[in-house]
Chains A and B, each alone.
Chain A
Amino acid sequence: MRPRRLRLLFALCVVASLVLAGRLAYWQTFGRADLSARARDQVRSDLVVAAQRGVIRDRNGAILATTVELRSLYALPSRIPKDDRGRVAQQLGVLLGRDARPIQAALDSGAEWLYVQRWLPEGTANAIAALNIPGLGFQNEPKRLYPNDSIGAAVLGFVNDNGDGVNGVEGYYDASLRGTDGRLVVERDPANRDLAVGLREAIPPRNGADLVLTIDLVAQTAAERELAAAMKKERATSGSILVIDPTDGSIRALASAPTYDPAAVRIADPEALRDRAIAWPYEPGSTMKAITIAAALNERLVTPSDTYNDVGYTIVGGRRLNNALGKAYGPTTVTQILERSLNAGAAWVGQKLGAQRLADYLGRFGFGKPTGVDLGGEVSGTMRPLVEWYPVDVGTASFGQGVSASPLQLAMAYAAIANGGTLFRPYVVASRRDADGEHRTAPVTVSHAVTPETAAAVRTMLLSTVDTGIAHNAAIAGFSVAGKTGTAQIASPDGSYVDDLYVSSFAGFFPVDDPKYLVLVVLERPDSRLLGTVTATDAFKGVAQDILRYARIQPDRRP
């Protein structure tokens, strides 16, 4: 070889070496960070560690809602031989209780990865795992479970597919219940196992708070049972039962119909998602008479024994307001206004009060503004501003027309009468337990509606209404019960009333000397029209008798 060629070869080698050296120097200096990141990404795993949603329990610790990781079945269709897919679909169809054809269609769809079914019951998942079919696998996924099915659905609300709480406690306390997700950054080996000696950065999740409700599962079950029976008997369009502890405003049971299973909201009737107890303003009708009379007693305008001459109607603002069925009773006491549920009598008392004072007392009893209950979706009833009242309104409002209220608003007003005159803010969460400890809810006083003496007088009048009056069907042997029936007309959008359709209700509490429970039953459009209150009082008795037995309340009367 000539020296010139050798020199050329040498020069080429030098140039090649320089290029390689330059490239190497580049990757070792400027490109180093990029290369390192790409290498790290191959082994690094950055995961969101989901916070566990808090558990909801009743006042005795029974689980009402909890989140559990259930196994979801997925498939990698390419790993299932084509000839076997029909057989696999058949086997899965039998175990999942589904038609095999859609499963096979999914396996043949060409998808790389797909869910066959999410959130399997444990037994089904075990049975499928035992088949050991290649190409099928399980992935744990959190699922909100409600062990009592539809019991308490209106109180609890539900969690949608995005993990957001909707309605009820789930909606109102969503931020507390959901907690804060954590983060875990680790290096993994080719088998996807964490490397103990590698990078590890962890921000632990902050689990959601556990809630203990004021709800008593036994009372709740009784309320749901009686409401369902009343709805069925009366073929009512909707209804609600509330059980309240009048001493502090805590809600012991809240049932709403139609109802739904919070674990299967997709198939629920959208109308069922509306909690009738807090989001259904209706004109309360005759149950309002006790409030009107309480106001007049408190203002010392009447006494329980004061008398007026009942002619079957009264004229207010130039309009004639009749008793139900237009019946006249002659000389009638204020107590008998409640015992006989007289519209004319209530309007007479209302006129004594005057519009200003009546509106003021309705406000003191919580009408016209939301109760502030800690449940999502509350809709308050309405009370027109006083300046918009017509002269006749003082009469109609006295017996619960022209004023709307949710069942909860009415129940709280009656609770004020039961407890000596204090209007409490209703609540369903008794305590919240999070990482910082337990936080208990303290009862909140909204107003002192009437004096204890007035409340005691109205309690006696309502006791008489049950013992000898129109609500005698609500009497329970061995116990003193005070209460009032209500039959209200239904207002139509044009301002008139719907013909021959009513809302029937009964609000009662017991034992009268020291009321422990208040129960309100409301039924919309019962089949038996004006006699719907009989079914309402039957439902009241059903709930009350269960509670009396369960709470071991001593009889306060001879049976």
Chain B
Amino acid sequence: MRAASWDLRIFGLAIAAIVFCFALALLYVAQTTALSVAGYDVQKLAAQRDEVRRQNSLLEVQIARLDSPARVAADAQRLGMVQARYVPMIPAQPLIAKR
């Protein structure tokens, strides 16, 4: 009777060990899979980030083009405006002195 009980205990322990190892392996596989999936997500996000940065750089260049004094002058000329050769300026000092 005692020998049979001992065998059962050993058998139970072996089964438990196997189940534990299996669970451990399952956990490892699940984590690795999750990590891989997260890795792919990171890559997608990094690609999106790079594309947004690229678009941002292109917009900066476009702003610089639109802000270019030469372009503004050319557009003004197209609208019929001309460069003023003389702009009268009033010195500030005499006005300040009068106050």
Contacts and interface: CB of A to CB of B under 8 A. Distances in A.
B65 A221 contact: no
B88 A63 contact: no
Contacts of B40: 193, 196
A221 B76 CA distance: 15
A129 B97 CA distance: 67
Given A66-B57, A148-B68, A225 B73 contact: yes
A68 interface: yes
B51 to A, nearest CB: 9
Given A68-B57, A68-B58, A224 B70 contact: yes
Contacts of B70: 148-149, 151, 221, 224-225
A194 interface: yes
B42 A147 contact: no
Contacts of A112: none
A545 interface: yes
Interface in A214-237: 217-218, 221, 224-225
Interface string B84-95: 011111011100
A150 to B, nearest CB: 9
Interface residues of B, number: 28
Contacts of A69: 54, 57
Contacts of A224: 70
A478 interface: yes
B86 A545 contact: yes
B32 interface: yes
Contacts of B48: none
A559 B64 CA distance: 37
Contacts of A195: 36, 39
Nearest to A71: B54
A549 interface: yes
Nearest to B88: A559
Contacts of B91: 554-556
A122 B65 CA distance: 15
Contact of A193 (B35, B38, B43, B61): B43
Interface string A533-559: 000000000000100010000111001
B80 interface: no
Nearest to A67: B57
Contacts of B75: none
A20 interface: no
Nearest to B46: A194
Interface size class on chain A is 20 to 34
B58 A196 contact: no
B64 A148 contact: yes
A197 B68 contact: no
B67 interface: yes
Contacts, number: 71
Contact of A62 (B32, B39, B64, B93): B64
Given A148-B68, A196-B36, A197-B35, A549 B87 contact: yes
B60 A196 contact: no
A66 B73 contact: no
A273 interface: no
B39 to A, nearest CB: 2
B92 A196 contact: no
Contacts of B58: 68, 122
Interface in B44-73: 54, 57-58, 60-61, 64-65, 67-70, 73
Contacts of B60: 63, 66
A150 B61 CA distance: 15
Contact of B65 (A140, A147, A196, A545): A147
A16 interface: no
Contacts of B67: 62
A145 B63 CA distance: 13
B61 A478 contact: no
A68 B87 contact: no
Given A194-B39, A196-B40, A221 B69 contact: yes
A548 to B, nearest CB: 8
Nearest to B71: A148
Contacts of A35: none
B81 to A, nearest CB: 15
A122 B56 CA distance: 12
A140 B54 contact: yes
A478 B89 contact: yes
A253 B80 CA distance: 28
A217 B70 CA distance: 9
B54 A68 contact: yes
A555 B64 contact: no
Contacts of B73: 221, 225
A407 to B, nearest CB: 22
B64 A68 contact: no
Given A148-B68, A225-B73, A196 B61 contact: no
Contacts of A196: 35-36, 38-40, 42
B32 A147 contact: no
A458 B32 CA distance: 82
Contacts of B88: 478, 559
Contacts of B61: 63, 66, 68, 145, 147
19 contacts: A63-B60, A63-B61, A63-B64, A66-B64, A147-B61, A147-B64, A149-B70, A151-B70, A196-B38, A197-B32, A197-B39, A218-B69, A224-B70, A225-B70, A225-B73, A545-B85, A545-B86, A555-B89, A555-B91
The 7 tightest CB contacts between A and B, nearest first, are A196-B39, A147-B64, A63-B64, A221-B69, A147-B65, A68-B57, A148-B68
Given A151-B70, A194-B39, 4 more contacts: A68-B61, A69-B57, A196-B42, A221-B73
